Amino acid sequence: MSSKQVVLITGSSTGFGRLFTETLARKGHTVFATMRDPGGRNAKNASEIRALAEKESLPVHVLEMDVTDDGSVERGVEAAVAKAGRIDVAINNAGYFLTGLEEAVTTEQARRLMDTNFLGPVRVNRAVLPHMRRQRSGVIMHISSGAGRVILPSAGFYCASKFALEALAEAYSYELAGQGIESVIVEPGAYETPVFGNTVTAADEGRTNTYGAVKEIPAKVNGALSSRAGNAQEVADAVLRIVETPAGEKQLRYYVAPQNFGVEEINALTKQIQAKVLEGFGLAADTKFVRGKAAGAF
């Protein structure tokens, strides 16, 4: 495989996804920068990315992909494979933050959040994995969060969506290792992106208003997160390093943050515990990385 990778990124219109696109393409990796509605709500973002690609001769292609729509995801992946012949890395980045007291989050808000933050990666992985399994190589990357490992009040649903993503990504890593495919989790702390402006607020104000002083927690949490936010390029640089790490040498989890509240310790401890669990279930050999060799169907 060439050291230059073919990378598909979701949610490339702004923030991390946009920075990943620019950072990877400037190192010569071919990037399919996907976003929803590049001809409408994201027309300005799409044309800025295309203009930059033209100006700097970057290998970037903008494609439409709404991660909540099976057909849109399948069409985007097929278009990338038709153009580049393969996908080496799929970066599940699209997502958003939901803030508010948990009781004030409606079931419809919870359903929508999971549809993007959790089912989005489910759709993307199901669309790219048949190609990666044929290739006997590839990386599915999941942009989780420190909030995929620790919990803040007023962020319970967001944490739940990222905890769910972490569980899925870890199970995938065990199932795909024997076929030469890596599943990787990136856990950013708070970084300056449009995420705070795009945050959805718990809709049931009537319930929030019955919580007394506790109803101030969401504002405290959001204020602390945005005041501590670091430079998002740090995360893009980390993603570049991961993409350029040879197959079989990547970690399952990468915590990247301006502060460490103990997430690295959680990751180190769960790594040991998971190894014991796999050993205890007699699965250690089945879940080991095997370079470029298919253990499965194809």
Q: Which residues bind ligand NAP (CB under 6 A)?
A: 10-11, 13-17, 35-36, 42, 66-68, 93-96, 116, 143, 145, 188, 190-191, 193-195, 198, 229
C-beta of 19: minimal distance to ligand NAP in Å? 8
Three-state DSSP at 254 gives strand
Give Cβ neighbours of residue 115 (< 8 Å, ≥ 6 apart): 68
**Catalytic residue, candidates 12, 72, 137, 144:** 144
**Catalytic residue, candidates 158, 172, 254, 255:** 158
Q: Is 12 a catalytic residue?
A: no
196, burial (CB in 10 Å: exposed 0-12, middle 13-18, buried 19+): middle
| 4 versus 228: smaller Cβ distance to ligand NAP | 228
| 36 versus 61: smaller Cβ distance to ligand NAP | 36
Q: Is 158 a catalytic residue?
A: yes
**Catalytic residue, candidates 137, 161, 162, 255:** 162
Beta bridge partners of 91: 9, 141
* Helical pair 70-84 and 119-135, crossing angle rounded to 10 deg: 30
Q: Is 162 a catalytic residue?
A: yes
Q: How crowded is residue 229: how many other Cβ atoms within 10 Å of its Cβ?
A: 16
| 154 versus 193: smaller Cβ distance to ligand NAP | 193
C-beta of 158: minimal distance to ligand NAP in Å? 7
Contact between 161 and 117 (Cβ < 8 Å)? yes
Q: Is 144 a catalytic residue?
A: yes
Give Cβ neighbours of residue 183 (< 8 Å, ≥ 6 apart): 139, 140, 141, 142, 169, 170, 172, 173, 176, 252
| 10 versus 23: smaller Cβ distance to ligand NAP | 10
Active site residues: 13, 144, 158, 162
